[in-house]
Amino acid sequence: MTEQFNAQIDAWVSKSEKRLLAIMRESAKRVGIESRKTRGEGGNMRVDTGFLRASFQSSLNAMPKIDINARPDTGGRYAPNAAVELTIGRAELGNTIYMGFTASYARPREYKDGFVRLAAQRWDVIVEAVTKEAKARING
């Protein structure tokens, strides 16, 4: 009886950890998406060439550093960086996921437009929404 109970507890803990990890990863992904959302999409980021948005980086080791030499090419167009989601997908419970923009003008744009801080302030709302969606999938 005790072995069966222990197995049930172990299975429950394993499922809970997997759910927590999925909620953490999805929430981090959505905060990143929110920080890159353009004004036209209801966000706070101004987009001309897309260079700033494409400079979005992530790491599990340290905050991405601004590259003072990183500037867009004249007439260039830039696509968002998909590698961020790969980093988030490698994160484990207890890891810190660092995300930031590396374009040389990222800091002054953030001070003016607040695309990072306003997205970060939505963390609780995003986690709540992701949790609610996860519960609906489990119970539905």
Crossing angle for the helix pair 123-139 and 2-35, to the nearest 10 degrees: 130
User: Is the distance from CB of 95 to CB of 89 less than 8 angstroms?
Assistant: no
**Cα maximum dimension of the chain:** 72
Mean pLDDT of the chain: 90
User: What are 68-123's pLDDT values in tens digits?
Assistant: 888 887 777 787 777 899 999 999 999 999 999 999 999 999 999 999 999 999 99
Q: What is the pTM of this model?
A: 0.86
Report the SS3 class of residue 59: strand
